[in-house]
């Protein structure tokens, strides 16, 4: 994989087009995201935000256009391929298995084995210790990595999902509505985790309908409407009223 310093951008999506039957979901979308920054993608329902991140994450395949990772053009046919390249995604559903423990969820499909076939077994001690390290690195306080996910609060579940993404990603973490349905205190904790990911030098891409949150977290904001990018703005140069106007079409905007 190309050295991260070869490009200004961690992610560069260029002229992405995607249709589902007669519905054109993306109409030549281009965005960029830098390492060490939070990049937010906003827009009304049906704007194409989720389709775009699914293409970046290897869930869907673009009809045309390119995605580059630190300057190297990539084409992921599966989410596993994107993960191997260092792109992790946290969806609203989180993808956690409720009846498994925290450490089992952190190592789901990445289990560490000892021995040689056919005499192989799980290295549970190593995975538990590594799970503690992954959580402590983001200052996530969980009673025990042996606790089952079923007993965790919404904020704790989100923290586990983010820790899993951060623990395995070396480059990019994508989050779809990371604080949806969370209370004020739990939202604040998740936002702290997002700041920690940025401080670690990762590129963080966030989809959110919460404009106050977007302005708090982001350095870069991309506004989408009806499958197109209307504009890109630096968060420091805009406000909630302008973002609403751009999304509703009251303002056409200009890329910044």
| Domains in the chain, CATH or no CATH each | 4-248 (3.40.50.300)
> Quick one: pLDDT at residue 251?
67
Distance CA 182, CA 190 (A): 9
* All residues at 6 or more sequence positions from 84 whose CB lies less than 8 Å from its CB, including other chains: none
State the pLDDT confidence band at 153, using cuts at 50, 70 and 90. Answer: confident
Lowest-confidence region among 1-5, 39-43, 161-165, 209-213: 1-5
Per-residue pLDDT tens for 179-209?
887 888 888 888 998 999 999 999 999 999 9
pLDDT at position 6 is: 58
DSSP the chain: ---GGG-S-SEEEEEEEEEETTEEEEEEEEEEE-TTSEEEEEE-TTSSHHHHHHHHTTSS--SEEEEEETTEEE--SSHHHHHHTTEEEE-TTTT--TTSBHHHHHTTT---EEEETTEEEE-HHHHHHHHHHHHHHTT---S-TTSBGGGS-HHHHHHHHHHHHHHH-SSEEEEESTTTT--HHHHHHHHHHHHHHHHTT-EEEEE-S-HHHHHHH-SEEEEEETTEEEEEEEGGG--HHHHHHHHHTS------
pLDDT digits (tens, 9 = 90+) for 118-141: 778 888 999 999 999 888 888 888
Residue 158's pLDDT band (boundaries 50, 70, 90)?
confident
Q: What percent of the chain has pLDDT above 90?
A: 63
Tell me the per-residue pLDDT of 221-250, one tens digit each, with 9 for 90 and over.
Answer: 999 999 999 999 999 999 999 999 999 887
Angstrom distance (rounded) from CA 136 to CA 116: 32
What is the reported pLDDT for 163? 87
d(CA 9, CA 32): 6
Question: If you average pLDDT over each of 27-41, 96-110, 189-203, which comes out highest?
Answer: 27-41
Which of 60, 62, 74, 64 is CA-nearest to residue 12?
Answer: 74
């Amino acid at each position: 994989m190309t050295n991260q310093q070869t490009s200004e951008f961690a992610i560069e999506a260029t002229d992405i087009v995607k249709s589902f039957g007669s519905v054109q979901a993306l109409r030549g979308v281009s965005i960029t995201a830098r390492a060490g920054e939070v990049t937010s993608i906003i827009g009304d329902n049906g704007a194409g935000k989720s389709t775009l991140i699914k293409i970046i994450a290897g869930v869907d395949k673009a009809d045309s256009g390119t995605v580059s990772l630190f300057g190297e053009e990539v084409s992921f046919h599966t989410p596993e391929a994107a993960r191997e390249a260092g792109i992790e995604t946290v969806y609203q559903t989180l993808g956690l298995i409720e009846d498994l423990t925290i450490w089992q969820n952190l190592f789901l499909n990445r289990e560490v084995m000892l021995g040689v076939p056919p005499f192989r077994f799980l290295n549970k001690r190593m995975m538990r210790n590594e799970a503690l390290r992954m959580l402590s690195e983001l200052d996530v306080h969980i009673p025990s990595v042996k606790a089952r996910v079923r007993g965790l609060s919404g904020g704790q579940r989100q923290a586990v999902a983010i820790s899993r993404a951060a623990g395995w990603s070396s480059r990019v973490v994508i989050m779809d509505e990371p604080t949806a349905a969370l209370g004020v205190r739990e939202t604040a904790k998740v936002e702290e985790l997002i700041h920690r990911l940025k401080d670690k030098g990762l590129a963080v891409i966030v989809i959110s309908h919460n404009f106050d949150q977007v302005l708090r977290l982001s350095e870069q904001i991309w506004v989408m409407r009806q499958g197109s990018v209307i504009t890109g703005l630096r968060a420091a140069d805009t406000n909630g009223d302008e973002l609403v106007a751009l999304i509703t079409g009251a303002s056409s905007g200009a890329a910044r």
